[in-house]
Structure formats: C-alpha cells, structure tokens
Amino acid sequence: MSTYQVIEGMIDLPRGFKATGISCGLKKGEGALDLGLIISEVPAAAAAVYTTNMFQAAPLKVTRESIEKEQKIQAVVVNSGNANACTGEQGIEDAKTMGNLVGELFSIPNYYVAVASTGVIGQHLPMDRVQQGIRQLPNHLTEDSGENFSLSIMTTDLIPKKVCVELLIDGEKVTISGTAKGSGMIHPNMATMLGFLTTDAHIDAAFLYNSLKRATDETFNMITVDGDTSTNDMVLVLANGLANNQALDENHSQAEEFYAAFLYVMQELAKKIARDGEGATKLVEVKVQSAATQEDARKVAKAVIGSNLVKTAVYGADANWGRIICAVGYSGVNIDPEKVSVSLGNQQVVEGGFPIPFSEEEATRYLQGEKVDIEIHLNQGDGTAIAWGCDLTYDYIKINASYRT
C-alpha cells in the first residue's frame, strides 16, 4: 500500500521554493516563455545525472562543477530555444555569466546556481536578451508563478509535465514535486530532456544522489521516442530540508517509503515525456517478465520500445507480433526462443515462440486506443523491467524536418 498521496502542485509547492518563467525572446512566437528560475530560501542538498552523449553542452559542465563543490544548489536558471551546445569557450563563459548574474541578484554564491539550456544546437546565446531577462526574474516570483517555469522549459512539447506527492516522514509532512520537458530526441540513457525535482525533505546528500541514480535507471533511462540521445539532458533534484524530519539516509526507517514516492514522481514524468513524443498519438508500455536477470529484462524492453517497426505497427493498429519477437531476438540477450510468449493487452498472440490464434479485429480495436501494453514473458528467471515509448507517426517527420525553420 502506498504511503504517499498524489496531489495537485507545481515545482514550487515544497516549502521554501519559488519558481517562475518569462519571455526574453529566445523562442519563436511573441511572448513565448523561454527563461525560467527555481530558487530556494536556503541552500539545498543537490544531485544530478547527465546525458551520456560525448558532446556535453556548456551548461552541464558549469552545473556539474557547481554541484561538485559542496553538493548544494540554491537556484536554477534555465533557458529554452537555444541549447548552448557545441559553442566552445564562449558557451562556457555564457553559461557562467547566467549563473553569476543570478547569484548577484539573489546574493548567493555563484557556485550555488545551476544552469540548464535546451533548444537548437550550435548557436551562441544572444546574451543581451538573456541577461536582460534574468534581471526581470525577481519581479516575477509570486506565489502562483510555478506553472510558468514548466512552460518556459518547453521546446516541441505540447503540454507541460508536472507531478507532485506528499507523505509523512517522522510525522512531518514532506512534499516532492517535479517538472520536466522532453518530446523528441528521447532515448534510453538520458535524452533531450530536462527534469527538475524539489523537495523540502531533510536528506543526506549521498542518499539523495543514490536515490536519483537508482530511480533514473528505472524511469528516464527506460523511455524512448526516436532513438536519439541529446547533448543537454539533465535531471536535477534539490532538497532544502525545511520539512524538519530526521535526516533521511539508507538507515532511516522510512528510507524506502521516501524512495517509493520519489520514484513515482520520476516515473510519471518519464511516462508523460513518452506520451508527448513528437507527433505521438499513443503511449506504449513494454513489460518484460521472467528474464534471467533484471539487466536482461531492461535490454529486451528497450529493444522492443525502440524498434521503429514496432512503433509504426502500433501507429497503424497492426497486431504484427513478428516485429516484437524480432526485436526481442536482436536485443543482445541470450534467450530461449521456444520459451517466449507475447501479449497485446489481455490478448496473447505468441506462446512458446510460436503464434497462437487470436482475434485480429479485437487486437486492432485495442491498438487503436491511447495506451498500448505489450507484455513479454521470457520464462528464464525472475528479472523484470518496464520501458515506455510512443508510436511513430507522419507528424514526427514533419516536426523534425522543419525544426530550425
């Protein structure tokens, strides 16, 4: 039974946090929000995970350096519309300038400021607009400006993505809130996505990082839209301790209760990103059970969810089970083909590696829905994993063929 409660709230709901977003002219469209800020009343324990792409954008390098200094962050400044990636030393200086200016405005050390960017790669930031925008941010911090932060980090996203839960730790109410952006260039092992989580929990920095890394492997590293991994991806969590619970660490009696709530927030954000894939019409969930190991289950789930042939079949509502077992077969996992079974929703289509009779009409009707579940049993052990993705549509090509124009 869950000990946390899902509630309505924005990234600024946990005690001591404020957030906002404004327009500074980086994104197309007059008044489009493209510059955001999260700030805590006090320095917060911080942890982050970053893209695996070898081309890492300047803001990631600056943020990593800041967190490594004291494992604390008090403010986060984010721009969309320009990735500040592949921009050399100028890009590093621009990212530092963003952090330094926020530090000056709020009288906090510059190494307590994290910086993030998302958008077009290879273009220098128009720093006159960015700096002018940053100077306006303090005037836009209000009690109800948190949603503007979620809007300001979007690029091709159709909707803002937010999740909030609360639970009791040591009798104290603890809130965990998250928001993310991501729609295309999404692939396991971090993709063109930014995720931000805030909590007022008092938490040990090492436990916070371990929780983030563990949850990332189960959530953001298990989604795909199009197989591309970007240069700017980061998930950042801040815990400012204002809930006054006893410090959470691996020995705390409620450590797993906190982690379950934390995992839920990240999992829901990951699913929202997958569902909002560029041009997508359906959320696809692939559950692999009875693999020899959890890692084997993850590999198979990722192979199936990442298959363009599977994704297009789902779009076309075609119960083409052959594409699913094909992906299972090339996943790199040593399986026994004669033990594999596959189901689409509650309709089994493969048993023992061979097709079994099923209703094509019922399968088509099921695949026309907005959520498609594919379940695969390998019958080799206890390993299990879930991956999320979306269908691949004509609109995906339209969006990405004209992304810069």
Beta bridge partners of 288: 376, 385
| Beta-strand pair 194-199/172-181 | antiparallel
Q: Which tokens sit at 391?
A: 């269908």
3-state helix, strand, coil in the chain (%, to 5): 35, 30, 35
Give the number of C-alpha atoms closer than 13 A to the C-alpha of residue 128, restricted to the C-beta side: 0
Point out the catalytic residue in the list 155, 156, 192, 198: 192
* Cβ-Cβ contacts under 8 Å for 67 (sequence gap 6 or more): 46, 47, 48, 73, 114
Please give the angle made by the CA atoms of 133, 138 and 144, to the nearest 5 degrees.
Answer: 110
Identify which of 200, 202, 273 has the alpha carbon closest to the alpha carbon of residue 235: 273
Contact assessment for residue 83 and residue 77, using Cβ atoms and an 8 Å cutoff: no
Active site residue 405: no
Contact assessment for residue 26 and residue 188, using Cβ atoms and an 8 Å cutoff: no
Which residue, chain included where needed, has tokens 């299990």?
A: 384
Burial of 78 (0-12, 13-18, 19+ CB in 10 A): buried
Contact assessment for residue 380 and residue 335, using Cβ atoms and an 8 Å cutoff: yes
Contact assessment for residue 79 and residue 232, using Cβ atoms and an 8 Å cutoff: no
Contact assessment for residue 301 and residue 385, using Cβ atoms and an 8 Å cutoff: yes
**Can you say whether residue 31 is alpha, beta or left, with left for phi > 0 and alpha for psi between -120 and 50 degrees?**
left
DSSP state of 366: H
Q: Which tokens sit at 117?
A: 């960017």
Residue 58: what are its φ and ψ, rounded to 5°? Answer: -55, -45
How many Å apart are CA 207 and CA 314, to the nearest integer? 40
What are the helix (H) ranges across 137-221? 146-152, 205-218
Q: Which residues are catalytic?
A: 192
